[in-house]
Structure 1
């Protein structure tokens, strides 16, 4: 297991830090000690990761296993950053599928740890590489005579295992549920967030009107990009505008949100 020392490493990102409560400190210490034994209790293809949410974005403080290749001091995933930025952190999102760039499929769970004041202080994550189990499933189905013709190629083609549909109990179907990207540094995290937000508009940056760019900035804020250092400059470069334009878009977005809140409040009176 890799475990951070007692002094939190400087993120160097300018992201705001949340002061931990004494209860939060205790919880992090307790779960930090559980990472290694929990990891040793799981299959060797599993990885256990502990995030200290006060250190976002570089939040990994303990890790056991090497499924995603990350180490202490590496950043949170885009999914975890988005949930924290939205301040809508569920107690857990369990048994969802993620896919690594090399095609390996993971079954992942993220459990949010809260202090006595119900403030999220940590996230305990488990990622299990299920590629080997997919192969076992295909072989079993072949032996039972239930293997579909399209899946039979998985027994002879090295490219097919990553395409074999996963059968999971109690979790979202393949392609459903949360989408999560594992990154090794802040630059990669920022690029992932930027690319997703821009691609979702369906319009190339060169052809975007103001409304498209405002929508992109709204998505970037919702995904937590502006928790990262130099995020405004990154967004401005990606959208081919000035940093002051990004600030204007953010002000416009916040004003619209405030107007919506005021309208809802007036309707409830």
Structure 2
């Protein structure tokens, strides 16, 4: 259903511009084609996350890939950019005529000013506001891989390059569950980050998947 997917993307391109223009400079709309792998951004209007055509999908996009065709709309969630801005987003998976997820339409709104005002009121009331989770919005998928590996290193209290094989398999399982290896060319990037060969990552990944099926 490649032609059907391409037609849907073509129909949505003017919608991307229209939504961003309607909501103004604090709004960004991003259109993803996951068939393109790590450089999934095919259209963008607005500049909330600084991505451009050819940019990478984030951890949020990886979550859609991890869910596969069962992925549903994820609406009005809040995340935090690397520079501390607060973004309210909605991610809507796109399906071809056979029901297969092949992309997503994402709307991001910078609500930093609103959140700061809310935090001030919360502080006056003696209530500690919740911290929004960090999300890696970037044009380079390697930055996303690095952020996910860093999170696993922090959880384990050890650098990834110093992990034994059992610990490395557990780390790869965590990355696999996050959808990392559904992206083409992810294995070389992860191998570089872990300081091991690609063949070692392929072997360890196969092992952790066998363990999951037992």
For normalisation by structure 2, the TM-score amounts to: 0.84
CA spacing shift, 1:149–1:99, aligned 2, 3 Å: same
Alignment match, 1:123: 104
The answer to whether residue 142 in structure 2 is matched with residue 187 in structure 1 is: yes
Q: Structure 1 CA distance, aligned partners of 2:161 and 2:73?
A: 39
The answer to whether residue 177 in structure 2 is matched with residue 253 in structure 1 is: no
Q: Structure 2 CA distance, aligned partners of 1:69 and 1:119?
A: 29
Contact 2:81 2:135 in 1 (8 A): no
By how many angstroms is 1:91 displaced?
1.8
Q: Structure 1 CA distance, aligned partners of 2:192 and 2:3?
A: 41
Structure 2 gaps, min length 5: none
RMSD of aligned residue pairs (Cα, Å): 2.7
Alpha-carbon displacement from aligned partner over 1:120-141 (angstroms, at most 9, x marks no partner): 12211111111122344467x5
Contact 1:107 1:130 in 2 (8 A): yes
Alpha-carbon displacement from aligned partner over 1:38-79 (angstroms, at most 9, x marks no partner): 111114211111111211211111111111111111111122
Alignment match, 1:148: 124
Q: Structure 2 CA distance, aligned partners of 1:121 and 1:228?
A: 14
For normalisation by structure 1, the TM-score amounts to: 0.69
Q: Structure 1 CA distance, aligned partners of 2:3 and 2:161?
A: 50
Q: Structure 2 CA distance, aligned partners of 1:53 and 1:205?
A: 28
Number of matched pairs: 213
Task: Show structure 1 runs of 4+ deviating over 6 A.
Answer: none
Q: Which has the larger radius of gyration?
A: 1
Q: In the alignment, which of 36, 58, 83 is matched to residue 64 of structure 2?
A: 83
By how many angstroms is 1:235 displaced?
3.3
1:1-269 alignment runs, 5 A limit = 20-87=1-68, 89-137=70-118, 141=121, 148=124, 165=129, 174-175=131-132, 180-205=135-160, 208-226=163-181, 227-229=183-185, 231-258=186-213, 260=214
Structure 1 gaps, min length 5: 1-19, 152-163, 166-172, 261-269
